Amino acid sequence: MLYSASTFAANGARPGTVDTGAPPVLDLLGIGFGPSNLALAVALREMLPQQAPFRFGFVEKKPGFIWHGNMLLDNSRMQISFLKDLVTMRNPASRYTFINYLHERERLLDFINTRTFYPSRYEFNDYLSWVAADFADTCHYGEEVVSVEPETAGKGALACLRVTSRAADGALAVRRARNVVVSVGGAPSIPDTFVPLRGHARVFHSSNYLTSLERLAQAGPVRRVAVIGSGQSAAEIFLDLHGREGGIEVDLVSRAPALKPADDSPFVNEIFNPRYIDYLFSRAPNEREQLLSEFGNTNYAVVDTDLIEAIYEVLYQQKVTGRVRHRLLAGCEARHAEADADGVRLDIARRDDGAHQLQRYDAVILATGYRRELHQSLLAPLASYLDDAKGFQADRDYRLQMAPGCQAGVFLQGCCEATHGLSDTLLSVLAVRAQEIAAAVLGTGEGEASVMAPEPARSRPARVAHAGTH
């Protein structure tokens, strides 16, 4: 059960604050209610003994559940199997599997007839929303968590955590919890060139793509667009713009000398197996860093092969017809940007010889990935309780390493790539990670690390992962 703001009677609180000073203590409070904490909600419901006195809830800043709503593009598909849903890898008999979702939606046979493991992104979002609807009473939507602060008991021991959230109308709510699970996703990574233009209507990140493009189109025609990036999102946006009415011209500006395919071969894909987390976590820091770099071409600055082929076909047909709408500016970067009410001017330079060109666009879309640092600022008030030697490094069960004597627990989801591997920010390990965190909180032992995984075969020399793109 989640204790909502209405549960707390005002008691000498400042205006706009809902707080008794000592609201009831939850056993677990999740910050964010995307796929990771949704999988945790399912795991807790299924792993808790019936009638167990365990109180848990979640706080989500969005007004309702949606997963990457601004990238739900026509014809965009999942990049992982539907079997890596919220629960199947932990409990295939669960009612919350993707297969049961299809059954409930009366589409199971139809989906089987498509002969694919990869549903559309739109359908997978609908699956996640279907599960989230069953947990509506455990999540408070429309509240952004603004602080996580310590609450001490005798002799300064950290007994529980006070989590303050702000609603759209400015009202504050305070909740207390023995365990907090932080799953706040990433913040858009903005290249230095575009930082001065942050917030400009004509320059926006891919995470705001559909909403911002629609708003811009309402203000006037959008004829020329620059897409900045080398990865999957950049490729998807390029093809989406190509397919829109109006003949939009697109320049795809990529620092990479060519669009590179994602390595999704079977042996390499073993790095996304839950057991590989055990292997990576047990390695020395320098070994982990080398392995992450070596397998970076599975996730960073890479594109699915079918999209690369589709883009190549578009550009080839331009050569056939002689009508040029789009360009791939490979090996280039925007070194200067200026914007006004009517457009954006970019100074685009080749990375090899520095030759540059000035171009003007109606919009610039930054498909430049995400930074995973939001948890550090949110948890900054707890700094004195963290293990000095580890900082924000989590244990194998995703629990932050706290100083001795701390009774409260803080768990991280999607913030542990450096220690837990490339799967940490992806959907691949949702179900198993949720089990491990739930087991750690419940003390059941069901989530203990599995047998050490063998090191995956290495198919190519090590290379630096371009972590700035997605």
pLDDT in tens, 203-251: 999 999 999 999 999 999 999 999 999 999 999 999 999 999 999 999 9
Answer whether 202's CB lies under 8 Å from 364's CB.
yes
Residue 60 has pLDDT above 60, yes or no: yes
Name the percent of the chain lying above pLDDT 70.
89
Q: For the chain, which residues make up each domain, given as ranges? A: 5-184+373-413, 200-262+300-369
Fold exhibited by the domain 5-184+373-413: FAD/NAD(P)-binding domain (3.50.50)
Q: What is the pLDDT of residue 51?
A: 74
Q: Which one-letter amino acid corresponds to residue 3?
A: Y
Q: Which one-letter amino acid corresponds to residue 82?
A: F
* Secondary structure (DSSP) of 313-334: HHHHHHHHH-----EEEETEEE
Confidence band, pLDDT 50/70/90 cuts, at residue 388 = low
**Average pLDDT of the chain?**
90
* Averaged pLDDT, 157-182: 95
Name the percent of the chain lying above pLDDT 90.
82
Answer whether 20's CB lies under 8 Å from 170's CB.
no
Q: Which one-letter amino acid corresponds to residue 295?
A: F
Confidence band, pLDDT 50/70/90 cuts, at residue 389 = low
pLDDT in tens, 140-157: 999 999 999 999 876 667
Alpha helix (H) residue ranges in 48-92: none
Distance between CA atoms of residues 9 and 83, nearest Å: 45
Q: What is the pLDDT of residue 21?
A: 53
State residue 401 phi and psi, 5-degree precision: -80, 110
**Crossing angle of helices 232-243 and 305-321, rounded to 10°:** 40
Q: What is the pLDDT of residue 470?
A: 34
172-177/17-18 β-pairing: parallel
Residue 448 has pLDDT above 80, yes or no: no
Answer whether 428's CB lies under 8 Å from 80's CB.
yes
Residue 343 has pLDDT above 70, yes or no: yes
Answer whether 143's CB lies under 8 Å from 165's CB.
yes
Alpha helix (H) residue ranges in 295-379: 305-321, 374-378
Q: Which residue has the higher pLDDT, 190 or 402?
A: 190
Q: Is the pTM of this model over 0.75?
A: yes
Conformational region of residue 322, where left means phi above 0, alpha means psi within -120 to 50, and beta covers everything else: left
Give the residue among 79, 89, 4, 6 at the shortest CA–CA distance from 42: 89
CATH class entry, domain 200-262+300-369? alpha beta
